[in-house]
Amino acid sequence: MSTVFPSTLDRFLDPIAECLTPEVAEQILKTRPEPRLQAHIDQLADKANLGQLSEEEREEYRGIVEAIDIVAIIKAKARAILAYSK
């Protein structure tokens, strides 16, 4: 992420994670992008790997990667909640 260091974002999300119940944590871990969105992400990723993104696509893909990073941190926190609750 270009604007926020991952550890800072991680700490920023801690209070949100503390609100998670085990049931909510389980639901978070089940979430996936809907198929049409995932196909679009895959298409952009393929173009990025080939160096074929337009400037507009590059900006969009950068935002997607940042969103995926945020979701990954939230899912890690959900896994921790579930591990702690057992």
Phi and psi for 29 in degrees, rounded to 5? -65, -20
- Please tell me the pTM assigned to this model: 0.82
Tell me: pLDDT of 61 over 50.
Answer: yes
Residue by residue, DSSP assigns 7-70 as HHHHHHHHHHHTT--HHHHHHHHH----HHHHHHHHHHHHHHHTT---HHHHHHHHHHHHHHHH
pLDDT tens by residue, 18-55 = 999 999 999 999 999 999 999 999 999 999 999 999 99
